[in-house]
Structure 1
């Protein structure tokens, strides 16, 4: 299709919008692979900053902040998963001009699979690889609605700290706690609103399912059903630990596995082998 000044301007405007909502710790103009990361409920892009040290030098890293935090702190919080997926799929589309992979943890895993589905079935290039972490397969969604967002502040904060992704010292900053809980409630309401359609089309990208072997929110028996979401290959990588098995000293080993899985899938796609 021939580009006109109008379409070129529209594309540039879309790319500029995406850039303002995303963080690139080490931007590359022509990467061998672009990794796009989606964070967990109550989290931010900061959780994946250490990936910048672990990825191959010719890979780009693009990190999302959901509305209401980080670079998007002035934007209204979103409490609907379909609304988030529609928003993010539109923002991600300009980043799909090179081979790309998508990864998400917990809420981010749901966003990752649904954004990949929206992109592929919206006539965009599908990702070379999708990584999902810390989340039971979508077919178990009916068993997962915890309505944590309805808890009072003290109970919700205690629950989030017990998961391991929120440091206890946060309790020493009451003003920050107020903001954090407001963000977390919106995210938790959004993930509880997830209602995957029984006739949803699968994606074609290979999927790797990551998890902690002691994660009560994503037990092993709820991981194998991720195979329903794709016609591509599905692999599993389990690590010692709970819901946030990859944080702290474990991050390097997790990142190594992420790189190996994404690189394996990208090589097969480049060689035009079955996914």
Structure 2
């Protein structure tokens, strides 16, 4: 059975947010991008605004797609936070990922220069924050129809994460590999992820801002491959 890679998108993202990565991955890895309701192929479904509901939705998706072979959960930004809780949920049913890969996120409880409920900002402030984060084409901000399409999706995703930084007690057994861009405000706190795992922890800082992933697809693909090879070597498996 092929190792499975389940990908969790950032706020406002969809299953198409990781298209840039697919071509750089080994063909022997099953590439499975997921998405929450209200976007992409699930546009007709209601948006989720609750953290537990978002985790449960991803959990049910993965359970239906599991081939019982080794699997990795990889999430960027919002997806990284959800990935931590999702991994814990799978460990609870004795189905352990071989790795949790997180990027663009220093983990729950990392210090922030300011604490903001993004989804409660007025439209002008919200646009400014989205521009600051990057990752969205300028054309979206200049086109009212496009912006009005994406803004409610991103707001609902931020609402899911509203109280996340108050949660610091969860700890998983799965190994964590964290990646951040050097220009991210909390990149200096990447080691914060270490306290969330009893397993080994690795991290890497690369050039770029919050959406550095688009500039480093090969590097991310290599990390995925390394995690799979580490598992194979540890258990002398051929997968």
Same fold (TM over 0.5): yes
Say if 2:85 is the partner of 1:114: yes
Match of 1:57 in 2: 27
Task: Tell me how far 1:92 sits from its aligned partner.
Answer: 1.2
Matched, 1:267 2:232: yes
Change (3 A) 1:215 1:197: closer
Residue in 2 that maps onto 1:252: 217
Larger Rg: 1
2:172 corresponds, among 197, 203, 224, to 203
TM-score of the superposed pair, with normalisation by structure 2: 0.90
Q: Any gaps of 5 or more consecutive residues in structure 2? A: none
Higher relative contact order (CA 8 A, sep 6+): 2
1:215 aligns with 2:184: yes
Could you tell which deviates more after superposition, 49-58 or 132-141?
Answer: 132-141
- Is 1:235 matched with 2:190? no
Stretch of structure 1 that moved more, 97-106 or 147-156: 147-156
Pair 82,142 (structure 1): closer, same or farther in 2 beyond 3 Å: farther
Q: Map Cα deviations across residues 105-140 of structure 1 (whole Å, 9 max, x no partner).
A: 11000111110001101x131101110111122233
Say what the alpha-carbon RMSD is for the aligned residues. Answer: 2.1
State the shift of 1:57 in Å. 1.1
Aligned length: 236
CA drift at 1:269: 5.0
Q: Secondary structure of the equivalent of 1:74?
A: coil
Contact 1:141/1:195, CA 8 A, preserved across alignment: no
1:75 is the counterpart of 2:45: yes
- Structure 2 equivalent of residue 100 of structure 1: 71
| SS across alignment from 2:212 | coil
Q: Which 4+ runs in 1 deviate beyond 6 A?
A: 141-144
Between the aligned partners of 1:144 and 1:67, the Cα distance in structure 2 is: 29
Residue 160 of structure 2 is matched in structure 1 by 190
